[in-house]
C-alpha cells in the first residue's frame, strides 16, 4: 500500500532527527542552545533566555496538554453530546491577568539588563569599529593603532563557487580573519560602531554584543571578557554579496600579551592615519575584495578624521 | 427567486441587460468580471500559483543551504531568491489568499449579493499580476532581481541595479491593490450586512477582516511613502536616509516597520478568523467568548501599531524607546493568548470530529503558539541582541507564517471547498496531506531554532561548518514538505475539474456549521443573495440560525 | 425582467462586467516600464520614450471612460441608498488612506527635525556621532546636514507667499461649502458661481506654488538636493500640490456636471465626495504650513 509506505517514511524522520542531534553535539557544545558566553552581560542574557525558555515550555505543556487531552476526551466518540457553555467571565479574567503577571516577571529583569547593556561609560579603552563592504576596520585611538580585519584567505578560497577546497577542511570556516581585534582580559572595552557604506552589524555572541553599524552614525556597545580565548561571530546585517564573509573575531589576551601586541602592531606599521574608509579598505587589497569587487559607490557618511579630535581621548 | 438585482451600465444597452445574470464566456469572463466569486477564485488561483513559485524559490534557498560552501549559487543570486521568496510569499501568496477568501466568503457570510465596489474589486485583483510582472522582470535586468531582503533597507538597496524602480513601482501597485481590497471588504461589512445582523452578531471571520482592513488602510500608504522616499533618494537627490544630508538610515526602518509589523498581523488576523470559524464547527459547540475574541482582535490591531521598533532592538535606539517597545511588544501577547485560550475552551467538552480542516486548525493553534512563544522571547530586548538576525528569527516567523497563515488558508480551502465546487474532497487524501505537512513543517523549521541559538546568521548563502547537520535536516524537510503539497494539488484539481464519481456536497456540508454561507446551495450560486436574507438571522445570538434544526439554543 | 431602478429600491446594485480596470492597468504598466527605464538612464531608447507617452494616454482615457460610465449610471438612477452609502464610506476610507500616506512624510519631517539633525550634532546619546564623525557640524533647523548637501540655501519664509496661499486655500474651503449650501437650497446658479470661485482659488494657489518653487530653485538655491530640509519641503509640498491639482480637476468636472444639470438638492454624492477631498487637502495644507513653514 503506497499510503502506508509514505506514512512509515514520515515516521522514520524523528529518528533522523535524533541521530543528527547526537552527531551535531559532538562538534561543539553550543549547537542547540544559546552560548552562555564569557562576559557578565552575556551570562545575564543567557539566564534571561533560559528563564524565558522555561516559562514558554511550561506554558506550552499546560496549554497544549489541555488541548490534546480535550482532543482525546472530547471526541465525538467519547463525548457525543457537546456542552453548551460559551463564556466564563472568571476564567477569562484569570487568563488575561496571569499572562500579564508572567510578562512582568520577564520584563523587569530584562529592563535591568538592558540598562546595563546601555551603560558604556568608563571603559578601559575604546575601539572604533568601522564596517565596510566586506571587512572590518579596528582603530585603537589610545594606542595609535589601526588596521583592517578581513576573512582569512583559506576560508575565502573554500567559499568560492565550485572551489576544490571543502569547507569542512578549513578550520573555523567563515569565522576566521587575518587580523582579529585584540583586547586585554577583564577590562571594559567600549566599542564605537559605524560604517562607511551600507549597514552592517558587529556581533560576537560569546561577548553578548550585537550592534548595527550605520554610515554617518556611531552606535556604542561594551563588553568585559572574563576568559582568555578567541571569540567569533559574523556581520549580521545583510550587506551585499560578501555579507557571509565578514567575520568578527576577537582575541582576548592577558595584559602582558596585549602590551606586546600593541608594540608589535606599531612596529608593523598598523598605525592610525587620517583616511577615507573606502580607500583604506581597498588599499588593504584582501582576497574578498578581489573576488567580490566592491561597487564603486562608497555611500554616504564617509568618515571624517579620528585623530586630533578631543573626545577621542575619552578612550583611556 | 425573483429578479431583484439592478444592473449597472447594462441599463444603457437595453436587451443586453441579461449580462448581469451569468458570466460572459471565455477569457473575457475573467478579465472583465465584477463578480465576487469569480474574483475570489482568481485571487485564490493567483495565491496558489504564488505559493508554488515562492515555494520553489524557497527550495532553491534550501538547496543552497544543504551544505556549507557555495554549491549552485553565487551569493547575489542566492539573495535574489531569498528576497523574492519573501516578497512572493507575503504579497503574492498570503495576502491575496486572504483577500480571495474574503471575496468569496464575506458577502456570503454577511448576506450581501456581492462586494460593495465590484469594479474596483476587479481592478484590485488585476493589479497583482501586473505588479508581479514588474517585480519578476528584475530577473532579466542588469543587476538582477531585488536582492536585499524583503525589508529593502537603504543604503544597501540603493546599490540595486536596473530593477530598482520596478521593484518600487511593483510595491506601489501591490499597495494599491491591498488598499482597494481593504476598502471593499470594510465597506461591504459596514454597509451591506443583512438586516438584523449587528456588528456584534457578525461572523467572526468578517470581524477579523474588518480589523485587517483597518490595518491595511493605515499601513499600506506608509509603505508606499517609505519606498517613494527610496526612489527619490536614488534618483532625485533627496537625503532622507543619508546622514551627510541630515537624514538617517534608521528613519527608513521606522517607516518600514510602522508598516511591517502591522503587516505581519495583517497576515495572521484573517487566519484567526478562519480558525475561530472552523473550530466551533467541528467541536459542535459555539465559539467560546465571542465578544472577548472581538475585543482581542481590536486590541491586537491597535497594539500592533505601537510595537514596530522590536525589529530594531539592535539598532542602537535611545534607551527609553527600547524600553517602551519592549513592554508594548510583550503586551500584545495578552490578547493573542486570550484567543488561544478561547479556542481551547471552545474545544473543551465539545463533541469533536477530526476532518481535515479541523486537523489543520488544531495544528495551527499549537504551532502558531510555538511561533508566538519564540516571539515573546525575542521581545526581551537584551536577549534579542543575541537572537537578532539569526535563524531563531527565521524559525519564529516561519512558525507563525507557514503553520500559521498558510495552514489557515489550507484549512479554509478544505472547509469551504465543498461549498465552492459542490463536491466533497477526498477525506483520506486530505488527512494524509495533513499528517505529512505537519511532520515535515516541523522538520524544516524546528531545527532552525537550534541553528539560530547557536549563532547561524540569516540571509546568508554560506555558513560555518558546525551548522551543517541541522541545515541538512531542514533542507530535507523542505523538499519533503513541498512534495507533500502535491497531494493537495491533486485534491484541488479533482474537485475543480475532474468531478466524475465524487460525492456531491450537501448545502450544509458540515453538520456543526453555522452561518449564512450554509443556507445557499452547494456550489454557491453566482449571486448568493438577491434579497437581504433577513429571515435567517436570529435576533439574539451572534449565530446565524440553523436552518435545519431551528435556533441553536446555546445559552449556557 | 429588469426592474426600473429607482432610489427607493432597497435591493442590491450589481454592475455588469467591465474591461476598464484591465485596460487601465495596461496603461499603468506601460507608463511604469517607460518611466523606470527613463530613471535608469535609457532615455535614448525610443520604445521607452514612447511608453511614457502612450501609457498615460491610455491611463487618462480609461479613467475618463470609467468615471463617465459611473456618472451616467448615477444620473439614470441606478444607485439606491445602499450604493450611495457605499460610495460615502469608500471615499471616507480612501481619504483616510491618503492621510496615512502624508503621515509617512510628516513622520520623516519630525524625525529629521527633532532627532536625526540633533544626533548628527552629537546631542543626547549620540555624543560620539557628532564629535567623531561630524566635528564641524552645528545642528540647527533648517539644515541640509553635516555634508551641507546641495550647498548653502535660504529656507522658505512662512509669512510671504505661503501665508497668502493659506488664506486662499482656507477661503476656497468656505466658498465650496457655500456652493454646497446653494446646491442644497436648489439655487444652481449661485452654486455654479461659488464653484467657479473655488476652482479659481485652487488655480491661483497652484500658480503661486509654482512661482514659489521657481524662486526656490533660481534665487534661494533651495532644491530637492538641499539635504533633509529640501527633501522634506519638496516632497511634502509637492505631493500636496499634486493633490490640489487632482482636486482642482475634480472640482472642474463637478462644475461641468452642474452646468449639465446633474445632481439634485437631495442626492449629490459626487459633489460631496469632491468636497470632502478638497477639505482634506486643505487640512493637510494647514498642517504643512505649521510644521514645514513656521516651525
Ligand atoms: C504572522 C506573523 C507574525 C506574528 C503573528 C508575530 C507575532 C509576534 N512576533 Fe514576530 N515576526 C514576524 C512575524 C510575526 N510575528 C516576522 C515575519 C518577523 C521577521 C521580519 C524580518 O526581520 O524579516 C518577526 C520578527 C519579530 C521580532 C524581531 C526579531 C528580530 O529581528 O530581532 C520580534 C521581537 O520582539 C517579534 C515578536 C513577536 C511577538 C512578541 C509576537 C506575538 O504577537 C506573539 C503572541 C503569541 C503568543 C505569545 C503565543 C500564544 C499565547 C499564549 C498561549 C498565552 C500565554 C502567554 C503569555 C502571555 C506569557 N517578531
Ligand atoms: C508567508 C510567508 C512565507 C512562507 C509561506 C514561507 C515558506 C517557506 N520558507 Fe520562507 N521566508 C519568508 C516568508 C515565508 N516563507 C520571509 C518573510 C523570509 C525573510 C526573507 C528576508 O530575510 O528578507 C523568509 C526566509 C526564508 C529563509 C531564510 C533565508 C535566509 O535568511 O537566507 C528560508 C530558509 O530556509 C526559508 C524557507 C522557507 C521554506 C522551506 C518554506 C516552505 O514552507 C515553503 C513550502 C510551500 C508552501 C508553504 C506552499 C504550500 C501552500 C499551498 C500549496 C497552499 C495553496 C494555496 C491555495 C489553494 C490558495 N524562508
Ligand atoms: Cu556586513 Cu553583513
Ligand atoms: Cu513585529
Q: What is the ipTM of this complex?
A: 0.89
Contacts with C125 from chain A: Cβ below 8 Å:
220
Question: Is the Cβ pair B454, A173 closer than 8 Å?
Answer: no
- Cell for B460? 546568508
Closest chain A C-alpha to C87 CA, distance in angstroms? 38
Cβ partners under 8 Å of residue B162, min gap 6: B138, B141, B142, B143, C37, C40
Q: Is the CB–ligand 2 distance for residue B459 below 6 Å?
A: yes
Residue A313 above 60 pLDDT?
A: no
Relative to the CA of B481, which ligand 2 atom is closest?
A: 45
Q: Compare A10 and A243 and report the one with higher pLDDT.
A: A243
- The count of other CB atoms within 10 Å of the CB of residue B497 is 9
Instruction: Please check whether residues A94 and A156 belong to one and the same domain.
Output: no
Asked if the model's pLDDT at residue A191 lies above 50, the reply is yes
Number of the ligand 2 atom closest to the C-alpha atom of B444: 40
Residue C129, pLDDT score: 85
B180 preceded by a cis bond (ω within 30 of 0): no
Window 141-170 of B, Cβ < 8 Å to A: 148-149, 153, 155-156, 158-159
**B410-431 average pLDDT score:** 93
- The terminus-to-terminus CA distance of chain B in angstroms comes to 38
> Is the pLDDT at A279 greater than 60, yes or no?
no
pLDDT higher than threshold 80 for residue A28: no
Residues with CB under 6 A from ligand 3: A 131, 134, 200, 235, 237-239, 243, 246
pLDDT of residue C11: 61
Kindly state whether residues A61 and A194 are assigned to the same domain.
no
CA C37 to chain centre: 25
Residue C12 confidence (pLDDT): 67
| Domain B29-553: CATH superfamily, name plus number | Cytochrome c oxidase-like, subunit I domain (1.20.210.10)
Q: Contacts by C172-176 with C-beta closer than 8 Å and gap 24+?
A: C172/C197, C172/C198, C172/C201, C172/C202, C172/C205, C172/C278, C172/C282, C173/C278, C173/C279, C173/C282, C175/C201, C176/C251, C176/C275, C176/C278, C176/C279
Q: From the CA of A221, how far away is ligand 3's center (Å)?
A: 17
B6 — pLDDT class (breaks 50, 70, 90)? very low
Q: Is the CB of A295 under 6 A from ligand 1?
A: no
CB A315 within 8 A of CB A142: yes
A35 touches chain B (CB under 8 A): yes
Is the Cβ of A130 closer than 8 Å to some Cβ of chain C? no
- Pick B484 or B532 by higher pLDDT: B484
Chain A interface mutation, best of C133, C136, C145, highest count of A Cβ atoms under 10 Å: C133
* pLDDT digits 0-9 by tens, B121-169: 999 999 999 999 999 998 988 888 899 999 999 889 998 888 899 999 9
Alpha helices by DSSP H, listed for chain C, are 20-39, 46-75, 81-110, 117-120, 127-128, 163-184, 188-215, 227-259, 269-288
Helix (H) or strand (E) holding A114, with range, is helix A89-118
Q: Does residue B55's CB lie within 6 angstroms of at least one atom of ligand 2?
A: yes
The C-alpha angle B130, B136, B141, rounded to 5 degrees, equals 120
Residues A233 and A254 in one domain: yes
Opening angle at CA B455, ends B474 and B149, nearest 5 = 70
Residue A67 near chain B (CB below 8 Å):
yes
Would you say residue A283 lies in a domain? no
List the domain range (segments joined by +) for residue A229.
125-272
Select the residue from A195, A311, A312 to test the C interface by mutation, using most C Cβ atoms within 10 A. A311
| Closest ligand 2 atom to Cα of B488 | 53
**Which residue CA neighbors atom 1 of ligand 3 most closely?**
A200
Hey, which residues 178-237 in chain B have their CB within 8 Å of chain A?
none
Number of domains present in the structure of chain A? 2
Distance between CA atoms of A13 and C146, rounded to whole angstroms?
59
Q: Mind giving me the DSSP string for A165-212?
A: S-GGGSTTTTS-BSS-EEEETT-EEEEEEEESSS-EEEEEGGGTEEEE
Tell me, in angstroms, the distance from the centre of ligand 1 to residue B377's CA. 9
Do A234 and A216 reside in the same domain of the chain? yes
Q: Is residue A229 domain-resident?
A: yes
B51 lines ligand 2 (CB under 6 A): yes
Give the distance from residue B7's alpha carbon to the nearest chain C alpha carbon, in angstroms.
Answer: 5
A-facing residues of C in 137-156 (CB < 8 A) are 146-147
Q: Tell me whether the omega of the peptide bond preceding residue C142 falls within 30 degrees of 0, making it cis.
A: yes
Q: Is it the case that residue A309 has pLDDT exceeding 50?
A: no
Residues A79 and A36 reside in one and the same domain: yes
C124 touches chain A (CB under 8 A): no
Given a contact cutoff of 8 angstroms between Cβ atoms, the answer to whether A306 and A312 are in contact is: yes
Is A301 within 8 Å of C133 when comparing Cβ atoms? yes
Q: Answer whether A214 sits within 8 Å of B351, measured CB to CB.
A: no
Domain boundaries, chain B: 29-553
Q: Taking ligand 4, which is a single-atom ion, which protein residues have CB atoms under 5 Å away?
A: B 261
Chains sharing 3 or more CB pairs under 8 A with chain B: A, C
Confidence grade of residue C193 (pLDDT, cut at 50, 70, 90): very high
* Backbone φ, ψ for residue A148 (5° rounding): -105, 140
Cell of B26: 471565455
The answer to whether the CB atoms of B169 and C36 lie below 8 A apart is yes
Ligand showing the shortest atom-to-Cα distance for residue B149? 2
Point out the least confidently predicted range of A1-5, A272-276, B511-515, C282-286: A1-5
| Strand duo A188-195 + A125-132: pairing | parallel
Per-residue model confidence as pLDDT tens digits over B473-486:
999 999 999 999 99
Q: What is the pLDDT of residues B288-332, one digit of tens each?
A: 988 899 999 999 999 999 999 999 999 999 999 999 999 999 999
Query: Is residue A154 situated within a structural domain?
Result: yes
Which H/E stretch holds residue C13?
Answer: strand C13-14
| Among the listed residues C155, B379, B367, C251, the one whose alpha carbon sits nearest the alpha carbon of residue A111 | B379
Query: Residue A301: which of A271, A278, A274, A272 has the closest Cα?
Result: A278
The yes-or-no verdict on residue C192 having pLDDT over 80 is yes
* CA gyration radius, chain C: 24
For residue A162, being part of any structural domain is answered with: yes
| A-chain residue closest to C135, CA distance | A309
- Would you say the CB of residue B402 lies under 6 angstroms from ligand 2? yes
A151 and A195 share a domain?
yes
Average per-residue pLDDT for chain B: 88
List the alpha helices (DSSP H) in B141-283.
Answer: 164-191, 204-235, 249-266, 269-283
- Among B375, B207, B332, B358, which residue's Cα sits nearest to residue B275? B358
* Residue A95's CATH number: 1.10.287.90
C82: cell is 445602499
Angle at B446 between CA B440 and CA B449, to 5 degrees: 155
Handedness of CA B47, B50, B52, B54 (dihedral sign): negative
**C24 touching A (Cβ < 8 Å):** no
Task: Give A301→chain C minimum CA distance, Å.
Answer: 8
pLDDT band at B538 (very low <50, low <70, confident <90, very high): low
The predicted pLDDT at position C45 comes to 62
Nearest to B408 by CA among B473, B458, B343: B343
Q: Collapsing DSSP states into helix, strand and coil, what is residue B522?
A: coil
* Nearest Cβ partner for C126 among A217, A310, A312: A217
Based on the fold, state whether residues A109 and A194 are members of the same structural domain: no
Q: How far is B546 from chain C (nearest CA, A)?
A: 25
Show residues of chain A in contact with B473, CB under 8 Å: 16-17, 20
Check if B362 has its Cβ closer than 6 Å to any atom of ligand 2: no
B537 pLDDT more than 80 = no
C132 vs C141: CA distance, rounded Å: 21
pLDDT digits (tens, 9 = 90+) for C28-82: 998 888 888 888 876 566 677 788 888 889 999 988 988 888 888 888 777 778 8
Say whether pLDDT at B87 is over 80.
yes
- Grid cell at residue A22: 547526537
Arithmetic mean of pLDDT, B43-57: 96
The answer to whether residue A19 scores a pLDDT higher than 80 is: no
Interface size, chain B vs chain C, as Cβ–Cβ contacts under 8 Å? 276
Tell me how far apart the alpha carbons of residues A30 and A33 are, in angstroms, rounded to a whole number.
5
Q: Tell me whether residue A105 is in a domain.
A: yes
DSSP three-state, residue A292: coil
Percent of chain C with pLDDT over 70: 94
Nearest-CA residue of chain A relative to C121? Answer: A217
| Contact predicate B134/C29, CB 8 Å | yes
* Cβ of residue B73 closer than 8 Å to a chain A Cβ: yes
Going by their DSSP bridges, the two strands B6-7 and C13-14 should be labelled as parallel
Does residue C125 carry a pLDDT above 90? Answer: no
Residue among B46, B55, B475 to mutate when testing ligand 2 (max atoms within 8 A of CB):
B55
Ligand that lies nearest to the alpha carbon of residue B385, given by its number in the listed order: 1
From CA B282, how far away is CA B290, in angstroms rounded? 16
Task: Please tell me the residue having the least CA distance from ligand 1 atom 47.
Answer: B372
Three-state SS annotation for B372-427: HHHHHHHCCHHHHHHHCCEHHHHHHHHHHHHHHHHHHHHHHHHHHHHHHHCECCCH
Q: In terms of domains, do A156 and A260 share one?
A: yes
Read off the pLDDT of residues C198-251 as tens digits, 9 standing for 90 and up.
Answer: 999 999 999 999 999 999 999 999 999 999 999 999 999 999 999 999 999 999
CATH number of the domain to which A153 belongs: 2.60.40.420
- A297 vs B159, B351, B369: nearest CB: B159
Residues A148 and A221 both lie in one domain: yes
Hey, is A312 helix, strand or coil?
helix
Same domain membership, residue A142 and residue A207: yes
Distance from residue B345's CA to the centre of ligand 3 (Å): 47
Sequence-ordered alpha helix ranges (H) in A196-295 = 255-267, 277-284, 287-291
pLDDT band (50, 70, 90) for residue B535: low
Q: Break chain B down into helix, strand, coil percent, rounded to 5.
A: 70, 0, 30
Q: How far is CA B503 from CA B89, B489, B500, in A?
A: 33, 18, 9
* For C132, nearest residue in chain A (alpha carbons): A306
Residues of A in contact with C146 (CB under 8 A): 216
pLDDT of residue A291: 37
Give me the active site residues of B, please: 85, 114, 150, 177-178, 261, 263, 265, 276, 310-311, 336, 339, 458
Return the ligand 1 atom nearest residue B260 CA: 20
| Ligand closest to the CA atom of residue A136 | 3
Within 8 A of A137 by CB-CB distance, chain C residues are none
Interface-testing mutation among B63, B233, B351, with chain A (most A C-beta atoms within 10 A)? B351
Q: Is residue A296 part of a domain?
A: no
Is the pLDDT reported for residue A12 higher than 60?
Answer: no
Alpha-carbon gap: B1 to the closest alpha carbon of chain C (Å): 12
Amino acid at each position: 500500500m503506497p499510503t502506508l509506505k509514505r506514512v512509515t517514511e514520515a515516521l522514520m524522520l524523528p529518528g533522523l532527527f535524533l541521530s543528527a542531534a547526537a552527531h551535531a553535539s559532538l562538534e561543539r557544545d553550543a549547537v542547540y542552545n544559546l552560548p552562555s558566553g564569557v562576559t557578565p552581560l552575556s551570562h545575564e542574557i543567557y539566564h534571561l533566555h533560559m528563564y524565558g525558555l522555561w516559562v514558554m515550555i511550561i506554558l506550552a505543556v499546560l496549554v497544549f496538554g489541555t488541548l490534546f487531552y480535550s482532543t482525546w476526551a472530547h471526541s465525538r466518540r467519547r463525548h457525543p453530546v457537546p456542552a453548551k457553555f460559551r463564556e466564563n467571565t472568571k476564567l477569562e479574567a484569570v487568563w488575561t491577568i496571569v499572562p500579564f503577571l508572567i510578562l512582568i516577571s520577564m520584563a523587569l529583569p530584562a529592563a535591568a539588563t538592558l540598562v546595563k547593556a546601555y551603560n558604556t561609560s568608563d571603559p578601559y579603552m575604546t575601539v572604533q569599529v568601522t564596517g565596510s563592504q566586506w571587512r572590518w576596520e579596528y582603530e585603537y585611538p589610545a594606542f595609535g593603532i589601526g588596521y583592517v580585519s578581513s576573512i582569512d584567505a583559506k576560508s575565502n578560497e573554500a567559499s568560492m563557487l565550485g572551489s576544490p577546497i571543502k569547507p569542512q577542511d578549513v578550520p573555523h570556516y567563515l569565522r576566521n580573519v587575518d587580523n582579529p581585534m585584540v583586547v586585554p582580559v577583564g577590562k571594559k572595552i567600549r566599542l564605537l560602531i559605524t560604517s562607511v557604506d551600507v549597514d552592517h552589524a558587529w556581533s560576537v555572541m560569546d561577548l553578548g554584543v550585537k550592534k548595527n553599524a550605520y554610515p554617518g552614525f556611531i552606535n556604542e556597545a561594551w563588553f568585559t571578557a572574563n576568559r582568555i580565548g578567541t571569540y567569533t561571530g559574523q556581520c549580521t546585517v545583510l550587506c551585499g554579496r560578501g555579507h557571509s564573509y565578514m567575520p568578527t573575531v576577537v582575541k582576548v589576551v592577558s595584559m602582558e600579551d596585549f602590551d606586546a601586541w600593541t608594540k608589535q602592531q606599531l612596529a608593523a606599521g598598523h598605525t592610525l592615519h587620517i583616511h577615507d574608509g573606502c580607500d583604506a579598505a581597498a588599499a588593504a587589497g584582501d582576497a574578498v575584495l578581489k573576488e567580490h569587487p566592491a561597487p564603486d559607490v562608497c555611500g554616504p557618511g564617509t568618515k571624517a578624521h579620528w585623530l586630533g579630535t578631543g573626545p577621542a581621548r575619552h578612550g583611556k | 427567486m425573483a429578479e431583484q438585482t439592478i444592473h449597472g451600465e447594462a441599463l444603457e444597452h437595453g436587451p443586453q441587460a441579461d449580462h448581469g445574470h451569468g458570466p460572459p464566456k471565455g477569457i473575457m469572463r475573467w478579465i472583465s468580471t465584477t463578480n465576487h466569486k469569480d474574483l475570489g477564485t482568481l485571487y485564490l488561483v493567483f495565491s496558489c500559483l504564488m505559493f508554488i513559485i515562492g515555494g520553489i524559490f524557497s527550495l532553491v534557498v534550501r538547496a543552497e543551504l544543504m551544505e556549507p560552501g557555495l554549491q549552485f549559487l553565487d551569493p547575489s543570486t542566492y539573495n535574489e531568491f531569498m528576497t523574492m521568496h519573501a516578497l512572493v510569499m507575503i504579497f503574492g501568496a498570503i495576502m491575496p489568499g486572504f483577500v480571495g477568501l474574503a471575496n468569496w466568503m464575506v458577502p456570503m457570510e454577511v448576506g450581501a449579493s456581492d462586494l460593495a465596489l465590484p469594479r474596483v474589486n476587479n481592478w484590485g485583483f488585476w493589479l497583482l499580476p501586473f505588479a508581479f510582472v514588474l517585480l519578476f522582470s528584475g530577473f532579466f535586468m542588469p543587476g538582477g532581481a531585488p536582492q536585499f531582503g524583503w525589508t529593502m533597507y537603504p543604503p544597501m538597496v540603493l546599490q540595486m541595479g536596473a530593477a530598482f524602480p520596478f521593484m518600487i513601482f511593483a510595491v506601489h501597485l501591490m499597495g494599491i491593490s491591498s488598499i482597494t481590497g481593504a476598502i471593499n471588504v470594510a465597506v461591504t461589512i459596514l454597509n451591506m450586512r443583512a438586516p438584523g445582523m449587528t456588528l456584534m452578531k457578525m461572523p467572526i471571520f468578517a470581524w477579523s477582516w474588518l480589523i485587517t482592513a483597518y490595518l491595511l488602510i493605515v499601513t499600506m500608504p506608509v509603505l508606499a511613502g517609505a519606498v517613494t522616499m527610496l526612489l527619490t533618494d536614488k534618483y532625485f537627490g533627496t537625503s532622507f536616509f543619508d546622514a551627510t544630508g541630515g537624514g538617517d538610515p534608521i528613519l527608513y526602518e521606522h517607516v518600514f516597520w510602522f508598516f511591517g509589523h502591522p503587516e505581519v498581523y495583517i497576515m495572521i488576523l484573517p487566519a484567526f478568523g478562519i480558525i475561530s470559524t472552523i473550530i466551533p464547527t467541528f467541536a459542535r459547540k459555539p465559539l467560546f467568548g465571542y465578544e472577548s475574541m472581538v475585543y482581542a482582535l481590536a486590541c491586537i490591531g491597535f497594539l500592533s501599531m505601537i510595537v514596530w521598533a522590536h525589529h530594531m532592538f539592535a539598532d542602537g535606539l535611545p534607551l527609553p524607546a527600547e524600553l517602551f517597545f519592549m513592554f508594548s511588544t510583550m503586551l500584545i501577547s495578552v490578547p493573542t493568548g486570550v484567543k488561544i485560550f478561547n479556542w481551547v475552551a471552545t474545544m473543551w467538552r465539545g463533541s469533536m470530529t477530526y476532518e481535515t480542516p479541523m486537523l489543520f486548525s488544531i495544528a495551527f493553534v499549537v504551532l502558531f503558539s510555538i511561533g508566538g512563544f519564540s516571539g515573546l522571547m525575542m521581545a526581551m530586548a537584551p536577549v534579542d541582541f543575541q537572537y537578532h538576525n539569526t535563524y531563531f528569527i527565521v524559525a519564529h516567523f516561519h512558525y507563525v507564517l507557514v503553520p500559521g497563515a498558510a495552514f489557515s488558508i489550507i484549512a479554509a480551502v478544505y472547509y469551504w471547498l465543498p461549498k465552492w465546487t459542490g463536491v466533497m474532497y477526498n477525506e483520506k487524501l486530505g488527512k494524509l496531506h495533513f499528517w505529512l505537512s505537519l511532520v515535515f513543517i516541523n522538520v524544516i523549521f524546528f531545527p532552525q531554532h537550534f541553528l539560530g541559538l547557536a549563532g547561524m546568521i540569516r540571509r546568508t548563502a554560506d555558513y560555518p561548518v558546525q551548522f551543517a547537520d541541522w541545515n541538512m535536516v531542514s533542507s530535507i524537510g523542505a523538499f519533503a514538505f513541498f512534495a507533500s503539497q502535491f497531494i493537495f494539488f491533486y485534491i484541488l484539481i479533482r474537485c475543480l475539474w475532474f468531478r466524475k464519481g465524487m460525492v456531491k456536497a450537501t448545502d450544509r456540508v458540515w453538520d456543526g456549521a453555522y452561518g449564512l454561507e450554509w443556507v445557499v446551495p452547494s456550489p454557491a450560486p453566482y449571486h448568493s443573495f438577491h434579497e437581504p436574507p433577513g429571515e435567517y438571522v436570529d435576533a439574539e445570538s451572534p449565530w446565524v440560525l440553523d436552518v435545519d434544526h431551528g435556533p441553536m439554543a446555546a445559552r449556557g | 425582467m429588469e426592474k426600473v431602478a429607482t432610489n427607493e429600491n432597497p435591493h442590491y446594485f450589481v454592475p455588469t462586467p467591465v474591461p476598464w480596470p484591465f485596460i487601465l492597468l495596461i496603461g499603468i504598466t506601460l507608463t511604469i516600464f517607460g518611466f523606470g527605464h527613463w530613471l535608469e538612464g535609457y532615455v535614448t531608447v525610443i520604445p521607452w520614450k514612447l511608453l511614457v507617452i502612450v501609457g498615460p494616454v491610455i491611463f487618462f482615457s480609461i479613467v475618463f471612460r470609467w468615471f463617465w460610465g459611473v456618472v451616467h449610471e448615477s444620473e439614470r438612477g441606478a444607485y439606491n441608498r445602499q450604493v450611495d452609502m457605499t460610495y460615502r464610506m469608500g471615499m471616507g476610507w480612501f481619504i483616510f488612506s491618503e492621510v496615512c500616506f502624508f503621515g509617512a512624510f510628516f513622520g520623516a519631517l519630525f524625525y529629521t527635525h527633532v532627532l536625526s539633525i540633533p544626533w548628527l550634532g552629537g546631542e543626547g546619546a549620540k555624543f560620539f556621532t557628532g564629535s567623531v564623525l561630524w566635528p564641524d557640524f552645528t545642528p540647527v533647523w533648517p539644515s541640509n546636514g553635516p555634508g551641507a548637501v546641495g550647498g548653502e540655501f535660504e529656507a522658505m519664509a512662512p509669512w510671504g507667499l505661503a501665508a497668502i496661499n493659506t488664506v486662499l486655500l482656507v477661503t476656497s474651503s468656505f466658498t465650496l461649502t457655500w456652493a454646497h449650501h446653494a446646491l442644497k437650497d436648489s439655487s444652481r446658479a449661485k452654486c455654479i458661481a461659488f464653484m467657479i470661485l473655488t476652482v479659481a482659488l485652487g488655480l491661483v494657489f497652484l500658480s503661486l506654488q509654482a512661482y514659489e518653487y521657481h524662486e526656490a530653485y533660481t534665487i534661494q538655491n533651495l532644491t530637492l538636493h538641499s539635504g533633509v530640509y529640501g527633501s522634506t519641503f519638496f516632497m511634502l509640498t509637492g505631493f500636496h500640490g499634486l493633490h490640489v491639482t487632482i482636486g482642482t480637476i475634480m472640482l472642474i468636472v463637478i462644475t461641468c456636471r452642474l452646468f449639465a444639470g446633474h445632481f439634485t438638492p437631495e442626492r449629490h454624492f459626487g459633489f460631496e465626495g469632491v468636497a470632502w477631498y478638497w477639505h482634506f487637502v486643505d487640512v493637510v495644507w494647514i498642517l504643512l504650513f505649521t510644521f514645514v513653514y513656521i516651525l
